[in-house]
Structure 1
Amino acid sequence: MSPVQTSLRSTLTGKFDVPESEIVPDATLESLGLDSLSLAELALILQEELGVEIQDDEAAARTTVGELTQTLATKYAATPGPTAR
């Protein structure tokens, strides 16, 4: 599992109590029970953990887990860090 997938899954399960079995690529963030406040909090947590900037529309209610994972993976790969990514 990539760092992006690990971070997203651990945040959804640990912080927002989403069952691991529900975190599938076609699930929307809304269907996982995240409201607008939760979406903002999710974006902040992921930004801090991954060192990438997340726009409001990139983590919107109708965004799927797969779409968010792909967006984050692209940004994460393009972000210089202390180790090679």
Structure 2
Amino acid sequence: MKESTPAVLDVMIAVLGADLDLPVTSVTAQTTFADLDMDSIAMTELGAILEEELGIEVADEDITMEDTLGGMAALLERKLAAQPAATIRVPSARTS
């Protein structure tokens, strides 16, 4: 499997920390979603936020296809590559 570039992985880690309130200090590309104790609701929320942040469609199958953050980041990078106008931005912390 192709290793992801830091940009998408950084967006994912920022979303996990800022939006889903998960501890991300020791998160790496090899971290699994099980390591983060993410349930199906959290995974669905992650997919929805990543859709917004990355400007691509993240299907339900996409969020369950890969076990690691790096694997999911690589999948999302392939989707981004198919959309040359896509722009990656690191999300800021949201306030409710």
The answer as to 2:22 corresponding to 1:18 is yes
User: Which blocks of at least 5 consecutive residues in structure 1 are unaligned?
Assistant: none
Partner letter of residue 11 of structure 2? S
- Give CA-to-partner distance per residue, 1:24-72, whole Å, 9 cap, x none: 1222112212111110010000011111112223212862111101001
Q: Quick check: 1:28–1:61 contact (8 Å CA) kept in 2?
A: no
Name the CA distance, whole Å, in 1 between partners of 2:86 and 2:55: 11
Question: Which amino acid in structure 2 is aligned with residue 50 of structure 1?
Answer: L
Partner residue, 2:85: 81
RMSD: 2.2
TM-score, length-scaled by structure 1: 0.79
Aligned partners of 1:29 and 1:60 also within 8 Å: no
Overall identity of the aligned pairs, in %: 32
* Contact 2:29–2:69, Cα closer than 8 Å, also in 1: yes
| Aligned residue number for residue 49 of structure 1 | 53
